[in-house]
Every structure is written in C-alpha cells, then in structure tokens.
Amino acid sequence: MSISSLPPPTEKLITADDLLNMPDDGRVTELVRGRIVEMPPTQLPHGKVCLAIGGILVKYLEVHDVGHGAVNDCGIITKRAPDTVRGADAAFGSYVRLPKDQPPRGYWPVSPEIVFEVLSPTDRPGATLTKVSEYLAAGVVVVIVVDPDEYLIHVNAASQLPFELGFGDQLKLNQFLPESLPEWTVAVREFFRFLPQPN
C-alpha cells in the first residue's frame, strides 16, 4: 500500500471532560458529537433579551428559594458517546434535581428543568429544532425559545405539543412543574422589556 492510499488517521473525539479542562481562550464554543464548534458573537437584541431573562430568574428566586438559575452559556450535557455539550442562554434547575448545597463547579451535573434559548438572526431553524430535541431528550422539561424579531416565544415541553405565545400573553412556568414550583407566571412582554416596544 502506498503512502498516498493510507486511510486517514482516526479523528480523536473530544469528551465533555476534555472540554471542561481546556484553558479558557475567550471563545464561545459548544461540543457537538465530540467536535468543538465555535459560536459567533451574539447581536445586541440577543444580549438584551438574555438580560431580561436573567432578571426574570432573579426576581422569582429572590421570593421562592426553590432552585438554581444560570445564564451566559452554562454547559448542559445533552448526549454521550460521542458527547454533546450545549451552552444554554439561561436555565433553571430545581433543588429536587440538584440539591441546594451541590458544589458549584463544572457543567450542570443533571439536566435543568427549564432552558431558555434566544434566537439570533443567524440561527438556522433546523439547528434550533435540533437543540430543542436534544434538551428534551436529555431530561429538560420545557425549552422556551425566545424570538426577539417577532416578539414571540415558542414553548416546547416534553409533555405536550409545542405552542406559541405573543407579546400580550402570559407564560405559566409552574404548569410544567406543578409539584416543584410555586406560582410562576411571566408576562411575555417581560422577555422584551429592554427592546423597543412593538406598536
């Protein structure tokens, strides 16, 4: 066999542990089926919506100390062998799944119950649906996809068909976790509070 006809070397796939132990070089990345994928910087409307979601989480958790909130692409392992680690824009995990005194280190050790993903203009619909499916398959109870362009949220729950809520609607988050969460109703407009308000 000539050198030119040798098979290519087997690609070494990256694990979630490998990714966790890599030095922080300032890039925002996800791990998709063992391969590192660099994420482009988000645009300002995306960041403003993420800020609003953080405020929604803080407001609720200051009154109801029932779980953990996280923002800023906190890693969630959605698949193993090969590993996939997604960076959620925001997430909530109750103390039922993750005890209050759990050491705050590494990725979510179990899937949070609620994940928030904010759409960017560059997001492809198929890629977003793939993420939603991965989260739900990994045990996330509900994935809220926020669309800053249309002032809509898309609710994807493991227990029911997806549905959409508009600017004037109310999102009842505790309906998905009635045994874990006290009343948690959010006006959809709160997700867009830092954006120009629609007519």
Instruction: In whole angstroms, give the CA distance from residue 16 to residue 151.
Output: 34
Q: Does domain 3-192 have CATH number 3.90.1570.10?
A: yes
What are the pLDDT tens digits along the chain (199 aa)?
344 444 455 678 999 999 988 888 878 888 999 999 988 888 899 999 999 999 999 999 999 999 999 999 899 999 999 999 999 999 999 999 999 987 667 899 899 999 999 998 777 777 889 999 999 999 999 999 999 999 999 999 988 999 999 999 999 999 999 888 999 999 999 999 999 998 7
pLDDT of residue 122: 73
Tell me if residue 107 falls in helix, strand or coil. Answer: coil
Instruction: Provide φ and ψ at 55, rounded to 5°.
Output: -65, -40
Where are the chain's structural domains? 3-192
